[in-house]
Structures are given as structure tokens and as C-alpha cells.
Amino acid sequence: MMTVRAFGALILVGLAACGSITAVKDSVTGLLKQEEDNSIPPVDLIDFEPTIQVVKIWSDRFGKGVDNLFIQLIPAAYKSAIYTADRDGRMIALSIETGEQLWLERNKKQRISGGPGVGDGLVFVGTSDAEVVARDVETGEEKWIAHVSSEVLAAPRAADGTVVVRTGDGKLFGLDSQTGNRKWVYDRTIPVLTLRGTSAPVIYGQMVIAGFDNGRLVALDLATGKQEWETRLGIPSGRSDLERMVDVDSEPTVVDETAYVASFQGNVAAVSVVNGQMEWTREISSHSKVAVDELHAYVTDEFGTVWALERNTGVSIWKQEGLKARRVTGPAVIGDYVVVGDFEGYLHWIDRNTGEFVHRLRLDKKRILVPCRTVGNVLLAFSSSGVLAAFRPE
């Protein structure tokens, strides 16, 4: 059964009446996101003795974050820099090692709603006003602004001269990375009821892989937008639109020609990027990105349980149920540990082999909405209020 909290993250849109999902305002979705989960109360955190040390390298507040709006601005790493953005039009570049600000640019008119993403020497964000903004990664100089069909809620990505942008109305755009001119567009009809958010596209070689709100994973040719294959991750069932919703809201993770992806009220699956054939599937509902290491795939389900699955078969290795209903982020892997954040601003460190807690620290008193980033042996964590910090396990 869907929890009140999960329902609060949904958007019901009368497409025939509204014409576009951008008619739904951020203030409304922010209120919905704050709904209390009355069916499953958050579990209390257990006491345990930490078995590892975690060093904070640096920490600061950059911009205003996203506050109570349900948008996920996930910092992006490129070479030795980390790029972040906030709702008020700020884009910031920082040194990963020191946290030193490399540049800051702001356009108050840009209501940033998706990104940042990097590629082709540029850093990109999308806005609620259907804009894609490109800046130079080294200087922050604005290179171009392109207009797409609706709000951009996922990070644009670029490679080999093409920027790929996913919009909230079910379209995937291919833009020229040097000019912002449109090269191609791929269109899918979206269901009446979906999660607020879209699957960020992933570029793998000359292929674009993206999930859609109808529960399908699609691969397109990067240069032309031609569809290469399509796979359904879940089959809708039930009488109502709510019961029948199967939404791929998470970004695929592609490793060794296999895409690992999760769907809400569908499955976690491993899919061959060569032909779209399913390698394995597990009936686990999630809207979070799957993390992968050399042995395991890790996923947080809709109830806050963190799972470790055998990467080649999908067989369960362990599950950690000590964070239920704490609005847990997707996992990140660093060294021997899996790290997730929660609604009270805690970072939970879990042994990747046993599933046991080994450390806990508090990043912020505000919630953590997005998964951490791992760059080498540095873990970067970002809170909804704009706190960004770098940690290293000892």
C-alpha cells in the first residue's frame, strides 16, 4: 500500500485541461512533500558504537539550497571540481579537495530546478521556465540559453557535441552543446499520475539511456535520437491510476554494458545496454538511483530499507531495516561502505559486506534529499538548505 508520504510526492495533472505539467506550482509540491507519513512513523535511530572514523575535510553553506520545494539539485563532479546550484539562480564551482570557491555566477531570473550536469567543457542546469543554461566549467561564463518544452527537473548531460535534456512533459531533447540549437527530440506520452521528478539521462558511448514515467527504459542514438531499444520495468496493475502507476524516476547506473535501474511500484532490474534484454529483476519499489560496486547493487526502497543485491543475479545479500520511514536517500558507495542520508540531516554509514551500521554523523538539521557523490576517496554530501561537505573514511 502506498504511504501518505509517497502520495504527497505525486502530481495529478489533467493533461487535457492544463496542457502541460508546468502548470503545477513548486509551492504546492513543496507542501505535499512536507506531509507527515501517518501510516508508518519514522523509526528511532538505534544506538551503536562506531567502528570507523570519518574525517570532515571541509563544510560550508553555498546558496540557499531548495528549502521545502521538491526539486533535487544534485552536485556534479568534473575533474577536480564540484558544481552546485540553488533555486535562486546561483551556480557555484568549488575545489573538491579544499572547498575553495572557484567561481560563482547568479541570474536571479533563473529558477533552477534541475542539474547541474557536465560534459563537453560545460556545466548545465535546467529551469522551471523551460530553459537550459550552459556555462564554461572553468570560468562560469554563460555560453548560451536554450528553450525546451517544459520544466527541467533532471540534470542535463553532454558528450560528443550533444546535450541531452529530459523535460517534465515526457520529452527528451538533443541539443548542440556549442550553440544550444535543437538537433532532435524524442517524445513519450506521460500518464495522468506520476511522481514529481524525472529520470536523468545517462550517456554511455554513443547511446543515451533514460527512464520514463510509463515504466519503460529506452536507449537512443546520441547523435540522431533514433530509438535503439525499449524495455518495460513493470507492468501496471490495479483499478485506479494510483495503483497502476509504474514510474522510472531514478537515473540508470551503467557498468560493464549493464544498466541498473529502479522503478516506483515496479522492479529493480539489470538490463543489457546492448539489446535491452532483462538480465535479472527484483520486485522492489524505489524512486532512488541504484549504486553499484564490483560485487553488489545497492538500492533504497520506498519504505527506507537499504538492500544489497548480488550484482550478476539480483539475489539478496542483506537488507538494513533500521531506517524505515526516515525518507532515506539513494545509496552511495565509498570504499567498504554504503552511505545514505535522511530527513533529519543524518548520514548513515553501513558496512557494504554485512549491512551493519558502522558510523553516523549529522550534516545539517535540514533534510538530505539527494544521494551523496563519491569522487575517489572523498564523499560529498548536500543538504536541502545548501550545506555541502566533504568527508573521508579512515
Looking at residue 16, what is its pLDDT?
Answer: 33
For CA atoms 351, 356, 361, 366, the dihedral sign is positive
For residues 177-189, average pLDDT = 93
How far lies 5's CA from each of 98, 190, 348, in Å? 37, 22, 21
> Residue 257: how many CB atoms within 10 A of its CB?
12
pLDDT at 21 over 60: no
Could you tell me the CATH number of the domain that includes residue 365?
A: 2.130.10.10
For residues 343-363, average pLDDT = 98
pLDDT in tens, 359-393: 999 999 999 999 999 999 999 999 999 999 999 99
Looking at residue 236, what is its pLDDT?
Answer: 53
Number of structural domains (the chain) is 1
Domain housing 213: 4-393
Alpha helices in 9-157 (DSSP H): 15-18, 26-33
**Spatial contact of 197 and 245, defined as CB atoms under 8 Å apart:** no
pLDDT in tens, 80-90: 999 999 999 99
Looking at residue 265, what is its pLDDT?
Answer: 73
Instruction: Please list, residue by residue across 359-377, b when 16 or more beta carbons sit within 10 angstroms of its beta carbon and e when fewer do.
Output: bbbebbebbbbbbbbbbee
pTM of the model: 0.88
> Model confidence at 69, in pLDDT bands (50, 70, 90)?
low
Looking at residue 39, what is its pLDDT?
Answer: 62
Looking at residue 379, what is its pLDDT?
Answer: 98
Sequence-distant (6+) residues with CB within 8 A of 44 are none
pLDDT in tens, 132-154: 999 999 999 999 999 999 999 99
